[in-house]
Structure 1
Amino acid sequence: MALTMLIIGSIVDIWKREIHDYYWIGFGGAGFLLIFLDSDIIPHLVNIGIALIIAPFVIFIWRLGLFGGADAFALIALAVIAPMTTFSENPSTPFTTLSNAVILFFVPVSINVIRNLISTMKHENIFEGFEETRFRKICAIMIGYKAKNPKFCFSIEKTVKGKKKINLKIQHAENQNYCSKPNTWITPGIPYLLLITGGFIIQLMYGDIILSLFIK
């Protein structure tokens, strides 16, 4: 049920870039009601109570703008439906799905770096017109790229006193408008729900990647 919820939610998020809160409330409520079909509900309720310690944490992250409300509600619903569930012998905590998702975030970072390296090998001046330090250019290469026709992306380019600069300020996931200006440095607006789904699949099959490294 939890995996179905995340997969459908990810598809809708990619398609519409918006998921109504009722979606998560519906799945979370249905998952909670199913517990009462079990004759021994106390252990399930205890697990849910422990798993829900993630709720204030993800709401705080949402308010900071690091990811959207749908991502926060997805993790809360997941804590109700499948608290700390794993089919492996490795440990799992209320934060396992989220920590696994953070590791998966390095996939789009790697894609950005490869994309920029290819552009550089083609002798494209990706920082034409910019006056920036090497450090800020390296950061830009990791978090984004110069898009010819951006779509579902956020601009990381700004103009200060007639000079182009890289904007490394955190983009609020819900308040920031998508960039439509051509030939602009952007950071992809990747639905974080995809990473959460991947993180949950890893949790089911392997457990907590980071925690297992420390334990072993």
Structure 2
Amino acid sequence: MMDGTADLALVRICIAFGMFGIAAAMDMRQRYVDDRLWVAFGAVAAVLYFFDFRQMDITIATLSMGLGGAASYLLYRTGLFGGADALALVVFAALLPTYDGRFFLEGISAKGQAHPLSPLMLLSNAAILSFTHLVVNMVKNAQYGARHRSSLFAGMEGETTTRKALAVLLGHRSNGSGFAFLMEKNCGGVRKFDFSLKPAEDTPFESQVGVWVMPGIPFLVYMLAGLAAMVFIGDLAIALLSSFAGIL
């Protein structure tokens, strides 16, 4: 039977899953998350500290929340995070500032695969999992190329092979629907790829058909998946590096 500390750790994890589950559903449906969600879960996080304050390592918890908040602010300011993503990481840092790997799947050792800074572990996992979107782009471009032979790069003939390859990874031809940002610009009548970062909250979604677009990644979905990986596996970056080192 788990002791009280373990029980509260499980409660915190379940609440975090609930928060990210609701937020991810909102993000997928409309690319907007009501700020009241973060206020509600932030209040829940504050209440939880009354129950396990004495059992927590306050130094590590404070460091973790501070780093989580700093990472959120920096990623938001650079345009890599939307407001919902930033608030999600801040509230998560308050909900589960530390994690010791007690719920790792059987046969997975916590040694070398986890550290106590939960927000950074979640962020790292989500970033790694988000690379699956590159595969989605490549599949879409392969399908487009199969249907429209020799027209995938129509209008972009002047671009280099390297930039075309990068475009295939980062974006695809738009069908006029979905949540995506324009990934090209007109330079004196010549179309060129535009790989610059665009703040999600200030940039309108592109509705033209046939232009190159960069999908607006619903990062909260990857944060939900990153949380699952963190709870049951640990830090994916450390695990991958450990596996790679083992092969060498």
- Do both proteins adopt the same fold according to a TM-score greater than 0.5, normalized to the shorter chain? yes
Please say if residues 35 and 44 of structure 1, whose CA atoms lie closer than 8 Å, have aligned partners that are also in contact.
no
Q: Structure 2 matches for 1:151-162, cutoff 5 A?
A: 151-162=178-189
Counterpart residue number, 2:238:
211
Considering Cα pairs closer than 8 Å and 6+ residues apart, tell me whether 1 or 2 has the greater RCO.
Answer: 1
Q: Which stretch shifts more, 85-94 or 137-146?
A: 85-94
Superposed displacement of residue 124, structure 1:
4.8
Distance 2:61 2:47 in 1: 12
Superposed displacement of residue 215, structure 1:
5.1
Letter paired with 1:48: A
Superposed displacement of residue 150, structure 1:
3.0
Counterpart residue number, 2:199:
172
Matched, 1:50 2:63: yes
Please say if residues 150 and 186 of structure 1, whose CA atoms lie closer than 8 Å, have aligned partners that are also in contact.
no
Q: Structure 2 matches for 1:122-201, cutoff 5 A?
A: 122=147, 123-130=149-156, 131-201=158-228
Distance 1:44 1:81 in 2: 14
RMSD, aligned CA: 1.8
Distance 1:101 1:77 in 2: 16
Counterpart residue number, 2:88:
74
Counterpart residue number, 2:120:
95
* Identity within the alignment, %: 29
TM-score (ref. length: structure 2) = 0.81
**1:144-201 per-position Cα deviation (integer Å, ceiling 9, x unaligned):** 1001223211010211111111111111121111101111111111211111111111
Distance 1:77 1:32, change over 3 A: same
TM-score (ref. length: structure 1) = 0.92
Q: How many residues align?
A: 215
Q: Structure 2 matches for 1:114-125, cutoff 5 A?
A: 114-122=139-147, 123-125=149-151
Please say if residues 176 and 206 of structure 2, whose CA atoms lie closer than 8 Å, have aligned partners that are also in contact.
no
Distance 2:178 2:242 in 1: 42
Distance 1:9 1:140, change over 3 A: same
Q: Structure 2 matches for 1:26-65, cutoff 5 A?
A: 26-38=40-52, 41-43=54-56, 45-52=58-65, 53-65=67-79
Q: Which stretch shifts more, 48-57 or 107-116?
A: 48-57
- Which ranges in structure 1 are unaligned for 5 or more consecutive residues? none
Letter paired with 2:211: T
Helix, strand or coil: the match of 1:43?
A: coil
Q: Which stretch shifts more, 141-150 or 206-215?
A: 206-215
Q: Which stretch shifts more, 82-91 or 200-209?
A: 82-91
Please say if residues 23 and 33 of structure 2, whose CA atoms lie closer than 8 Å, have aligned partners that are also in contact.
yes
Distance 1:21 1:117, change over 3 A: same
Helix, strand or coil: the match of 1:36?
A: helix
Please say if residues 146 and 183 of structure 1, whose CA atoms lie closer than 8 Å, have aligned partners that are also in contact.
yes
Matched, 1:111 2:136: yes
Letter paired with 2:140: R
**1:24-70 per-position Cα deviation (integer Å, ceiling 9, x unaligned):** 122022122122123x5351544431321221122111011111011
Please say if residues 2 and 78 of structure 1, whose CA atoms lie closer than 8 Å, have aligned partners that are also in contact.
yes
Counterpart residue number, 2:7:
none
Distance 1:115 1:75 in 2: 30
Structure with bigger gyration radius: 2
